[in-house]
Amino acid sequence: MSRLVHEVFAAQAARTPEAVAVRSDEATLTYRELDERANKLAHHLVALGVEPGAPVAVLLERSAQAVVALLATLKAGGAYLPVHSGYPAERRQWIVGQSGAGVLLTDAAMTRRGLPDVARAVRVADDPAIDAAPATAPVVAVGQDDLAYVMYTSGSTGHPKGVAVRHSGTVDLVLDRCWDTGNHERVSLIAPTAFDVSLYEILVPLVRGGSVVVFPEGPVDIGRLRAHVTGHGITALHLTAGLFRVVADEAPDLFATAREVLTGGDTIAPGAVDRVLRTCPDLVVRALYGTTEATVFSTHATLTAPYRPGITVSSGRAFDGVELHVLDERLDPVPPGAVGELYIAGRGLAKGYLERPDLTAEAFVANPFRDGGDRMYRTGDLARLSADGELDFAGRATDLVKILGFRVELAEIESVLAGFPGLAHVAVVAHEVGADTRLAAYVVPEGDEPDLATLREHVRAALPEYMVPGAFTVIGELPLTANGKVDRSALPVPEFHGETAYRAPANPTEEVICRIFAQVLSLPKVGAEDSFFDLGGHSLLAMRLLSRIRAELGVEVQIRTLFNTPTVAGLAELVAVEQAA
């Protein structure tokens, strides 16, 4: 069998040419149509000078065209490099520049919002040169050890780093026997394409004759998700651990028509699994652990009813060909059940970080348990491994944290803060607030206190929204440990509050919404002019907020409305209008 991703797909397309491969609001593509469109775009990329292994940047809305772009890049021999549409322009430009990508695949919507500077931008859906290209696959010399894709993640040096992954590891993942259950017949494409989970959502169904069903562009809320799952007969979908918990709390019956839901990317709440399986006893919940450096997923556990929740949810056992090593600081194995640092070896290990041999050497170290130059990846995670090979996540050994399922290096945020004029020292800490993880920034000024609103905008211009701290605190000095490092545990407890003066609620509707804001955000008090997002709110908490507004006030508020009207007073006006209608 071929060890190239696009050839595995092409073989499936030849077996089921008239089956539906991709379904979205704007298009339905059969396997034959998807294969031919990808071939045409691949020929165009080759004509533009894309060579084997060369990164091809992709900045598209979540759509059928995004699936075409992925396959076309691989067929042309290039390395697929998705760029997150939600990133600030400066960060997108840095990624494209550092990768050396000479071609950017895009669409009309992204073009209107502004594109990174690149030698050639190609509109995938409406370039006449693509339509004129041959519908057969180009002949390109690509091997299994060549790059299939590059995914950028947060980096401790102040800039993101590009994880470069081979064809062979990607093929091993998507052909793993754990997916051969019949559950992946219609899989939802819901993750941002710059999130590596999207590769599961696209490729696992497409190498089995299943369908990728594209969730419409825009924020996820419970109403839209329910309509998507039931309306398209979704059989399997992946939700981050945080999103899974929100759905489990607010609408566990949403999964009633699905066969399998996958979750991971952060600590999975046992109570959430229990609520979902009690409501949907025929469902399979698959708990996953993985890192981008080891090709998306490395372990999995199948959870079914009847389920007895424990203190934690097991991360399960290794995928075929994956090796797990839990080691002490001397790289010696710890006893079964003891906590050590997790290293991953075997199938799926990335080549390293694109154009960063220094970072690659730090993270990918020699494997002392095998000869022949094998390597293993240091995850920075603490874990326990049972005698029969079951993994249990136990925390983090480094300053890497997970926010909304995304990896965040605190040092990258600190680097951006340090670039603001007038600051002598900075530190960023992740705080647990209820079931949520929130970032807090501490700054020591050189002289006068900085304007915190301006500082927040400085960070927002350089980093994705999920990396912007929810609290900024000015202090006189950073507390230090005996060995001169920042003593993060001695920093003051941050106050997550808005930038406006407190105003008490003026009517019963404002009172109810102030109370719901405070409950969802785990805050003692919220004013009527406070903004949900300035208080530390984000998309997952927004889903919980809107669910409770619907339950208490009987009004359905769309998540897009919240983004446009994020204050208590603004929402109260909207609710009053709806109630009077």
Q: What integer is the mean pLDDT of 385-411?
A: 85
Does the structure show a pLDDT above 70 at 403? Answer: yes
pLDDT-derived band at 495 (thresholds 50, 70, 90) equals confident
Measured CA to CA, the distance from residue 550 to residue 219 in angstroms comes to 18
pLDDT-derived band at 537 (thresholds 50, 70, 90) equals confident
Does the structure show a pLDDT above 90 at 500? Answer: no
**Residue 17: DSSP 8-state:** T
Q: What integer is the mean pLDDT of 113-138?
A: 95
Q: What is the pLDDT of residue 406?
A: 81
Q: What is the pLDDT of residue 533?
A: 86
Q: What is the pLDDT of residue 218?
A: 85
Peptide bond connecting 306 to the previous residue in cis, omega within 30 degrees of 0: yes
- Per the confidence metrics, is the pTM higher than 0.95? no
Domains and CATH numbers, the chain: 5-167 (3.40.50.980), 320-396 (2.30.38.10), 407-474 (3.30.300.30), 508-580 (1.10.1200.10)
| More confidently predicted of 430 and 95 | 95
pLDDT digits (tens, 9 = 90+) for 8-35: 999 999 999 999 999 998 889 999 999 9
pLDDT-derived band at 498 (thresholds 50, 70, 90) equals low
| More confidently predicted of 313 and 536 | 313
What are the structure tokens assigned to 350, written together? 């990335």
Measured CA to CA, the distance from residue 217 to residue 190 in angstroms comes to 9
Does the structure show a pLDDT above 90 at 578? Answer: no
- For 138: left if phi > 0, alpha if psi spans -120 to 50, otherwise beta; the answer is beta
Q: What is the pLDDT of residue 518?
A: 92
- Please tell me the least confidently modeled range out of 247-256, 329-338, 396-405, 506-515: 396-405
**Residue 119: DSSP 8-state:** S
Q: Look-up: residue for tokens 């709110």?
A: 537
Triad 263, 266, 270: Cα angle to 5°: 65
Per-residue H/E/C for 216-279 = CCCCCCHHHHHHHHHHCCCCEEEEEHHHHHHHHHHCHHHHCCCCEEEEECCCCCHHHHHHHHHH
Q: What integer is the mean pLDDT of 105-112?
A: 95
| More confidently predicted of 576 and 436 | 576
- Please tell me the least confidently modeled range out of 401-405, 455-459, 547-551: 401-405
144 C-beta neighbours (distance < 10 Å), count: 16
Which residues, other chains included, contact 308 with Cβ-Cβ below 8 Å and sequence gap of 6+? none
| More confidently predicted of 579 and 7 | 7
Q: What is the pLDDT of residue 72?
A: 98
Q: Where are the beta strands (DSSP E) in 67-112?
A: 79-82, 103-106
Does the structure show a pLDDT above 70 at 499? Answer: no
